[in-house]
Structure 1
């Protein structure tokens, strides 16, 4: 019977077992152990119950396998019942059995695990390691580190590699490089740096914290490396934008005789996707096909996403249609791809189809839907998405709630944005920044400043995104004094200012006609920050608006150097030369743009009519609603050209148009 069980021939094991007239505890242990060891959990548990009814006494390995079977099935109630059986049968005092049951509880209920851990009379290294891993897994890393400290300092236990792997993962979750480096030093002192799993976890930790140099050092100090080691460092290079280093590492990986697996190829795909390199994405696709990795969900999802990010949505859709039963991640990836390619209606339609195919969606899919509705800018669809979030109980979640308020902001529904913001149960700096940006985007600069003060009252300090939104609101609202005051206050407080903040202030001064001050500000940008094309573009645009040709040449040369593939600088310069009568220079700009293959991106306006969003481009006389809007726009244009001191006439427009 033992021979058949170890060979995996369970049917023959059962035949021999049934033929035996007398069955002792050894017989029962063999047949139960055989079933559990080969994944036949249901049958193994049934046999255990039958054996106990006839007086069978299980051995320790069988008890551990029973607990593992309950663990794999996430049978929490069964685990509690078995826990009671162990106490009643007097088998509870065995440390290995206690550790196995502790592992069940840490993956399901940490409060039960804490009670069990406190009740254990003898705790070995495994007991402490299981608890530390449980705390890290449940996101309570601080408790894990405190327990580790207690284990080492108070009880003087000698830790092993598994313990350190959990502790280092906890440091990665916290993103605390200082604590992680001290743990790394502890690993070296205790002589655990030779452990392959510890080394891989250290490399992963440094990569997740953005300290690539330390990751390279940790990788180089590893005496032995496997595919996971190479993939961890490769992933770190890719996610931190070190693409040249990633390619060099991949080459070294091949020279070392380590074969690339599906994780390696997916990391390369992520890199080429970020670079927008369609040719190499196709090359990785062919490699995945050659190695028969297309059945891997991660590989297929990465391919769908990569083609979408390269604006090849047709290829993404073709891959998606090849999958017989896409999971929620695949659906989400495809929905996100449609949104990225400017096809919100297709994204929303696919979400509806997904809800018919899957019982439940997750928060990531909902975020993709909200992003699609924001892109469509249709208030009716946005309200529908908001309703789904409410029914899922996620409207008050800070991530979902922030996305909802941003969605309403893109629709121009600022009051709905404020209501969504107020519904967020626990607001963070991201949600405050989003509502501040929403008011600025919709033309309420003074409300933006008031919200900044309100946020600071709640004890939150503005981050670079917040301050940029405030400066942008002042810029578009014409609040020159307020914008300069905010900028000076940020400098006095030692806030983190980036080149975008200086560019926004340049735009603010340039729009107000302070061209000399704007140029001086560009020159005063700190060393290490190069003035952006947007700053020079703002100055060039102001030159056109105020009919000043003083800075045209210098601003134009800077724009063409910084953004040679953008059409904005060429067109702005061409129009300026044309308006000044310099037709030769205007033609030269147009020719230069054509010679360099620069494509013109057409700007458009968007307006909501009867709960449907319509887009208009300049000079479009063939739009079905052009006859309705053109007379109104002409009157408004006339009003804008009037003396600003005079009271403007109010035009009453048809309600359907508004």
Structure 2
């Protein structure tokens, strides 16, 4: 009975049954204790403390009882103890049990390797694997899967792949583990290649395999591979699996093929909210905001209850449409449906109000939010930056620091942009210098671009050159375009030449750098130098796309019709 209750996640009932057994004076044997240890192992994850006692405390009570009843040398029971401690994350207690065992089994070693794997400690797991082999125990499939999982969870996919390649006949679980590892570490091309290898070895995928590899195809924007996986899903009988279908919709959406996404969606015999959300996200990604709103309305009409993700996506679509009225309507619906406390829904509302120009409305909502995270703060700071209110952006950034919330790289893009747009040059420079020193955020291209733009707008080119000489990302064209554009405004010819030369090297076919420098020479009356630049442009066969007016566009459309 206890085993059955535990398997059906009726943890509290199983624990109560064990207490009833003790009260009735029924003799407890090792099987009873093993069942109860299994209950303790599941309880922490599924329902938390039972009757006010933590699962760890209950597990220790079972451990004490097993010693009292003389079962400390029962290998099966000791393995259950190991499993219980490993699953609740108490590896120190698991170590003590393992050391005191008079003999081990392959199961004992496997539990320890899995336990350290769940704690993302692949080094300790590898140490146990080496000790296992040194003691003469032969690893089995479970050993390799546990070790592989430990490497993947620790982010050590390279070692995980070495273990995988040593497996004579990897199981489907092993294939899924290594594919997930590549996916989680954004090595999507390797995931796609390994999936192809899996096909050649005649290993049939399951829904997890297909979902993982479709996620990698989506991140790469790899349409052809996505179609191949779609064909494989049909071949292996997953044509009506909503889990796989949601991943297919995601691939086609990210590749800009919304018609194919709609086709996959329309062929499903049964739908769930995840499929609807995938379609909503697809419309949002492809800037089809009005379609997203219509789809959301249809979803509700058919009786599907939106999730937090549904509301966050549709509010984001309102932001892209700059539709304050519709955004406010969704805000009211969010309040009515009880999702106002969700941080991601709240962040979407802040984004919507800011992009619709109602920064005060966004701030009013921000101030009454019950919970905030870095994303929420970033949205509000970015909202002030977008609307040219650098002083409030800076104040909010300082409030964020004071609250104990740690800024990330997106925070700094937002606050540096605000400083640049509001001519807060000294403040921006101070924040830029504090990024790495105080908060450990390594400046990226976007941060260098922001601070260079900030200094350039103020004509402080000496400081710009110091940063240009020191920055690691000298091969980024955007940085030099910002420098060249500012040099033209401030007539800084020497730095403009340097920026143009860098752009010729990085992007020789981009006409913008040639035109900007030639126009700068012309505005300063240096006609000969302007001709030299235009001759260079001709020599390099750089073509400038002609400008055209709205009337020209209308004529083109009429001619096409």
TM-score, scaled to structure 1: 0.68
Aligned: 1:185 with 2:131: no
Aligned mate of 2:94, from 148, 155, 159: 148
Question: Cα–Cα, structure 1 residues 461 and 494, in superposed 2: closer, same or farther, change >3 Å?
Answer: closer
Q: CA RMSD in A?
A: 4.0
1:111 aligned residue: 49
Q: Give the Cα separation in 2 of the matches to 1:152 and 1:432.
A: 47
- Where does 1:290-329 land on structure 2 (aligned, <5 Å)? 290-329=235-274
1:410 aligned residue: 355
Q: Give the Cα separation in 1 of the matches to 2:389 and 2:329.
A: 26
Post-superposition offset of 1:281: 2.0
Q: Which runs of 5+ in 2 are unaligned?
A: 72-76, 555-561
Question: Which has the bigger relative contact order, CA under 8 A and spacing at least 6?
Answer: 2
Aligned: 1:511 with 2:453: no
Q: Give the Cα separation in 2 of the matches to 1:395 and 1:156.
A: 57
Post-superposition offset of 1:310: 0.3
Instruction: Kindly name which structure, 1 or 2, has the bigger radius of gyration based on alpha carbons.
Output: 1
Post-superposition offset of 1:236: 2.1
Assess if the C-alpha contact under 8 Å between 2:204 and 2:236 holds in 1: no
Question: Cα–Cα, structure 1 residues 452 and 619, in superposed 2: closer, same or farther, change >3 Å?
Answer: same
Q: Give the Cα separation in 2 of the matches to 1:524 and 1:294.
A: 55
Q: Deviations over 1:416-447 (max 9, x none)?
A: 32233333434343433333222222222122
Q: Deviations over 1:95-135 (max 9, x none)?
A: 43454455456264332273754553227235435644664
Q: Which runs of 5+ in 1 are unaligned?
A: 1-62, 136-140, 173-178, 603-617, 624-658
Question: Cα–Cα, structure 1 residues 548 and 108, in superposed 2: closer, same or farther, change >3 Å?
Answer: closer
Question: Cα–Cα, structure 1 residues 525 and 186, in superposed 2: closer, same or farther, change >3 Å?
Answer: same
Post-superposition offset of 1:490: 3.6
Aligned mate of 1:234, from 142, 160, 179: 179
Q: Give the Cα separation in 2 of the matches to 1:511 and 1:385.
A: 40
Q: Deviations over 1:178-217 (max 9, x none)?
A: x442233234324578242343243334334433323223
Post-superposition offset of 1:327: 1.0
Q: Deviations over 1:300-355 (max 9, x none)?
A: 11111100000011110111111122112111111101100101222222223323
1:160 aligned residue: 108
Assess if the C-alpha contact under 8 Å between 1:575 and 1:586 holds in 2: no
Q: Give the Cα separation in 2 of the matches to 1:155 and 1:400.
A: 52
SS in 2 for 1:294: coil
Question: Cα–Cα, structure 1 residues 164 and 284, in superposed 2: closer, same or farther, change >3 Å?
Answer: same
Q: Give the Cα separation in 1 of the matches to 2:269 and 2:543.
A: 46
2:119 aligned residue: 171
Aligned mate of 2:144, from 190, 196, 199: 199
1:56 aligned residue: none
Aligned: 1:431 with 2:431: no
Assess if the C-alpha contact under 8 Å between 1:543 and 1:552 holds in 2: yes
Q: Deviations over 1:350-371 (max 9, x none)?
A: 2233234345443333332333
Greater shift, 404-413 or 333-342, is seen at 404-413
Assess if the C-alpha contact under 8 Å between 2:500 and 2:517 holds in 1: no
Aligned mate of 1:539, from 483, 493, 517: 483
1:524 aligned residue: 470
Assess if the C-alpha contact under 8 Å between 1:573 and 1:586 holds in 2: no
Question: Cα–Cα, structure 1 residues 309 and 283, in superposed 2: closer, same or farther, change >3 Å?
Answer: same
Aligned mate of 2:233, from 265, 269, 288: 288
SS in 1 for 2:49: helix
Q: Give the Cα separation in 2 of the matches to 1:514 and 1:260.
A: 59
Q: Deviations over 1:53-104 (max 9, x none)?
A: xxxxxxxxxx46xx42x45655568657755764566557244345445545
Aligned mate of 1:555, from 493, 499, 506: 499
The count of aligned residue pairs is 522
Assess if the C-alpha contact under 8 Å between 2:320 and 2:355 holds in 1: yes
Question: Cα–Cα, structure 1 residues 561 and 318, in superposed 2: closer, same or farther, change >3 Å?
Answer: farther
Q: Give the Cα separation in 1 of the matches to 2:515 and 2:138.
A: 64
Post-superposition offset of 1:395: 2.6
1:422 aligned residue: 367
Assess if the C-alpha contact under 8 Å between 1:499 and 1:530 holds in 2: no
Q: Give the Cα separation in 2 of the matches to 1:361 and 1:599.
A: 47
Question: Cα–Cα, structure 1 residues 284 and 220, in superposed 2: closer, same or farther, change >3 Å?
Answer: closer
Assess if the C-alpha contact under 8 Å between 2:82 and 2:98 holds in 1: no
